[in-house]
Structure 1
Amino acid sequence: MDVKGLKEYLAWLYYQYLLVTCSYVLEPWEQSIFNTLLFTMVTMVVYTAYVFIPIHTRLALEFFSGLFGGQHESTVAFMS
């Protein structure tokens, strides 16, 4: 794909984004506020998923392994 084709493809994607979000009817300053809010929300969702999903997955695995007869790790250390 050449540079011109890539530029046209990105312009087409941006046009599709404008159509899907109906932001083509907004004024330029309204579009920038909308895009900023949308980018901020998407960033916060991705960050939250990155931080909290592994924690919840580990806790769920521990819970279900305990429910189905898995061995719990001992919290008391044996000293000899």
Structure 2
Amino acid sequence: MDMKNLREYLGWLYYQYLLITSIYVLEPWEQSIFNTVLFTMVAMVIYTSYVFVPIHVRLALEFFSGLCGEQPESTVALMN
């Protein structure tokens, strides 16, 4: 794919984004505010997922392994 086709494709995707979100009817400064808020919210969701989802998955696995009868791993080392 050459650069002209790529540029046209990206332009087409941006146009689809404008149509789907209906922000093509807004003033340019309103569009920029909408885009800023939208992308900030998306970034916050991605960051929160990256930070907190692994913790919750680990805790859920520990919980369900305890229900299935497996013994939890001891954090205290056995001393002979």
Normalising to structure 2: TM-score of the pair? 0.94
Map 1:1-80 to 2 at 5 A. 1-80=1-80
State the distance in 2 between where 1:61 and 1:25 align: 48
Task: Give deviations 1:5-60, integer Å, cap 9, x for gaps.
Answer: 00100000000000010000000000000000000000000000001110000000
* Structure 1: runs of 5+ lacking an equivalent: none
Corresponding pairs, count:
80
TM-score, L = length of structure 1: 0.94
In 1: Cα distance, 2:2 partner to 2:73 partner:
58
Matched-pair identity in %: 77
Letter matched to residue 43 of structure 2: T
Structure 2: tracts of 5 or more residues without a match: none
